Structures are given as structure tokens and as C-alpha cells.
Amino acid sequence: MSIQKTLGEFIVEKQSDFPHAKGELSALLSAIKLAAKIVNREINKAGLVDITGASGVENIQGEQQQKLDMYANEIFKNALIARGEVCGIASEEEDNYVFFDNKNSRNGNYIVLMDPLDGSSNIDVNVSVGTIFSIYRRVSPLGGPVNMEDFLQVGRKQVAAGYVIYGSSTMLVFTTGHGVHGFTYDPSIGVFCLSHESLTIPKTGKIYSINEGNYIKFPLGVKKYLKYCQEKDESTNRPYTSRYIGSLVADFHRNLLKGGIYIYPQTAQAPSGKLRLLYECNPIAFLAEQAGALATDGYNPILDLKPTELHQRVPFFTGSPEMMATAHEFIAKFKDE
Ligand code: AHM
Ligand code: MG
């Protein structure tokens, strides 16, 4: 029986791929790995124990009962504080960024932005959810507090990014700018094993993923592109097939493996769309580009957008390059109508 390489071994082996390699980024990824295992354990118990309820409720010991996304936030935060490489975080679950004001962390070189449990409304119905993370070098002086500039860096400056998908199996997929690698969790030994080395997205595919319930609100270019996806044309393998889970990580992961396009566009009511630039779109865009996919707001690469706010939203289009090119043509053609 062959023994697969573990995530820990892979990180040690690829140490030189990490910018400013001093083992810090490896330690940081180990913290994420540990937190992912704990969150995975809790998610697997959803339905058995009361971890899906709303926060604000006290349990019998008089403790606050936490929703699983709050719980995941605490687990990731605590795992990152414990190591000292990270001086601060921003999270979907925190209104403001958090400075890790202790002796060790103050000298940490990295900041992390995360969505600790994306798609958490899917937990109650046993559907895949994910954790998304984005890692930057700090720009504020070492030893002092972090500031907003640390967190509003352009996506191109990410040094690593990834996601954990808690699905039919649990996987951790990440990039440090040297390809995209996927590790599947083996719960029997408690280890992530290399299962998908150097992932690349097919140049084209048959899947389009969008919440079509919002069709009436979509920009005309998106509506026309959807009709194009549904038309019959043998030369381009159409009609395509529609797949939408409602968990960005799971929808992206499937399209990455099979080829496809994911769209969460702007609407008249929500001119910036729904998804968050800093901890949802930027990390997914970094992975996408590393895997040969494209990720844009319909016009410009996500990774080139200059963030202005921590919880900023952005229209999001990502997927196989040939499908993205066609979607862009439709958007440009029907821009002003
Ligand atoms: P969340 O961060 O509140 O979980 O919202 C993000 C999620 C994404 O995972 C998913 O792609 C999208 O929201 C689904 O939104 P909708 O239900 O509007 O289709
Ligand atoms: Mg989210």
C-alpha cells in the first residue's frame, strides 16, 4: 500500500517556494490546518449536538451558545494567535480588524483575512460549506499595531491563499503563487494527504453556476450570456448544464475540477453584488489565476482592484478561460442597455 505525502511534508519540501522563507509561512499554514481539523470535527456533528442554533442563547451552564460560524471564527483566530506569525486578522465575523496585541504576535510578519465558514446556512441541511483565507505580509512597522493599510492591500500582493471544503470529504486547497495543490483529509489518521497536485482548470466546460432566481435583476449582458448557455449548438457543446450549490467554495471547487463558470453579478438593488472582495473573492481569484482560470468583476481582474473597505462587496465572475472570455464579450456588448 502506498503512503501519500502529507500536507506537513509537502510544506517542508516546498519551503523554498515560500516568499521570505523562514519557516513562518509554513507555521502559519500549520495553524490553519489545525483549525480546519477542529472545525471539521464540529461540522460533522451538526444535527447531533446543538451547534447550529442562533447565537445570543445561553446554555444550561449560562454560557453563550455559538453559531457554528462564530465558533469557526474563534477556532481560526485562536489557532493563529497561538503561533505568533500573524499580527492581526480581519474576518467576515468581525466588524473591524483585530490586532493580536501580545508580545509574540506583535512581531508577526503576516496578516490574515478570512471567511471562517462560508455558506453557513447550508450546514443545517448537510450541504458543503467552506473556510476561505487570504495571507499578506504586513506593511505597518514590525512591533507596532496593525492598521487599515495592512488589510486593504491589492489582491495581487497576497503571498498565499486557500480554502477548506467540508464536503463529502474534507479538503484543503492552497497556493503560495506556485500552483494550486489540494490535500484530502483522512480522518482515520487525522492528516491531510496530497491528492490533487498542480490543479489546473479545463480551458472550457459545460457548467454554469449562478443563482438564477435573481434572473430578473441581472444586468442585460449576464441575461444574454445565460440564454447563450442554454441554447443548442453542437460545435460548442451547448446547452451547458446548470449547477449551483450556494456555497462559493463548493461551487468554485467543482468548476475548478470539471471546468465551468461561476457568476455572482451586480444588480440594480445591489450594485456591488453580494460577495466580499477581501476574504471571499481575492483568495478565490488568486487560486483561480494560479490554476489557469480567470476571476474578474466582469471587466477587470479581481486581483487588480484597490480595496477601499474591509467588508467591500464586488461582482464576481470566475471560471474556465474560454467561458470567461465569452461572458466578457456579452457583458461588454450589452453594457449600456
Ligand atoms: P455568506 O458569507 O453569508 O455565507 O454568503 C456567501 C455565500 C456564498 O458562499 C454563496 O456563493 C452565496 O452566498 C450564495 O448567495 P445566494 O443565496 O444569494 O445565491
Ligand atoms: Mg461568506
Instruction: Give the residue from 196, 217, 245 where a domain finishes.
Output: 196
User: 138 with 192, same domain?
Assistant: yes
List the one residue out of 273, 249, 32, 283 whose CA is nearest residue 123. 249
Q: Is the CB of 128 under 6 A from ligand 1?
A: no
- List pLDDT tens digits, range 8-26: 899 888 877 665 656 888 8
> CA neighbours within 13 Å on the CB side: how many for 329?
9
Q: Is the CB of 205 under 6 A from ligand 1?
A: no
- Of all ligands present, the nearest one to the C-alpha of 115 is 2
Instruction: Give the residue from 177, 196, 215 where a domain finishes.
Output: 196
Collapsed DSSP state (helix, strand, coil) of residue 303: helix
Which of 113-122, 175-184, 307-316 is the least confident region? 113-122
202 domain-assigned? no
Instruction: Give the residue from 174, 196, 218 where a domain finishes.
Output: 196
- Of all ligands present, the nearest one to the C-alpha of 127 is 1
Domain region containing 319: 207-333
* Percent of the chain's residues with pLDDT above 90: 79
At residue 274 the predicted structure's pLDDT band, cuts being 50, 70 and 90, is: very high
Atom of ligand 1 nearest to the CA of 262: 11
Q: Which residues pair with 292 in a beta bridge?
A: none
- List pLDDT tens digits, range 211-268: 999 999 999 999 999 999 999 999 999 999 999 999 999 999 999 999 999 999 999 8
User: 136 with 252, same domain?
Assistant: no
pLDDT of residue 50: 59
User: 176 with 239, same domain?
Assistant: no
34 domain-assigned? yes
Residue 51 has pLDDT above 60, yes or no: no
pLDDT of residue 264: 98
In angstroms, the CA 127 to CA 227 distance is 28
274 domain-assigned? yes
User: 168 with 226, same domain?
Assistant: no
At residue 125 the predicted structure's pLDDT band, cuts being 50, 70 and 90, is: confident
Question: Distance between alpha carbon 147 and the CA centroid of its chain, in Å?
Answer: 23
Q: Is the CB of 120 under 6 A from ligand 1?
A: yes
Q: Who wins on pLDDT, 195 or 126?
A: 195
Q: What count of residues does the chain have?
A: 337
Atom of ligand 1 nearest to the CA of 118: 4
107 domain-assigned? yes
| Cβ–Cβ < 8 Å for 229, 239 | yes
* Percent of the chain's residues with pLDDT above 70: 91
Measured in Å, residue 251 CA sits from the centre of ligand 1 at: 11
User: 191 with 213, same domain?
Assistant: no
User: 73 with 191, same domain?
Assistant: yes
Q: Average pLDDT for residues 141-163, to the nearest whole number?
A: 97
* DSSP E strand stretches across 98-141: 98-99, 110-118, 129-137
User: 180 with 288, same domain?
Assistant: no
58 domain-assigned? yes
CATH number, domain with residue 113:
3.30.540.10
Q: Is the CB of 115 under 6 A from ligand 1?
A: yes
69 domain-assigned? yes
152 domain-assigned? yes
Measured in Å, residue 4 CA sits from the centre of ligand 1 at: 34
Residue 63 has pLDDT above 50, yes or no: no
User: 266 with 302, same domain?
Assistant: yes
Mean pLDDT of the chain: 91
Whether the full predicted model's pTM is greater than 0.85, yes or no, is yes
273 domain-assigned? yes
Q: Is the CB of 211 under 6 A from ligand 1?
A: yes
pLDDT of residue 13: 84
User: 93 with 113, same domain?
Assistant: yes
Residue 150 has pLDDT above 70, yes or no: yes
- List pLDDT tens digits, range 64-112: 435 788 899 999 999 999 989 999 999 999 999 999 999 889 999 999 9
List the one residue out of 78, 132, 131 whose CA is nearest residue 105. 78
**Which residue lies with its CA nearest to atom 14 of ligand 1?**
246
User: 292 with 232, same domain?
Assistant: yes
pLDDT of residue 14: 82
Measured in Å, residue 62 CA sits from the centre of ligand 1 at: 32
User: 227 with 173, same domain?
Assistant: no
Collapsed DSSP state (helix, strand, coil) of residue 289: helix
pLDDT of residue 65: 39
CATH number, domain with residue 329:
3.40.190.80
**Domains contained in the chain, number:** 2
| Cβ–Cβ < 8 Å for 58, 64 | yes
Which of 68, 118, 121 has most ligand 1 atoms within 8 Å of CB, for mutation? 118
User: 223 with 78, same domain?
Assistant: no
In angstroms, the CA 26 to CA 32 distance is 10
Residue 47 has pLDDT above 70, yes or no: no
Which of 47-61, 115-129, 133-147, 272-286 is the least confident region? 47-61
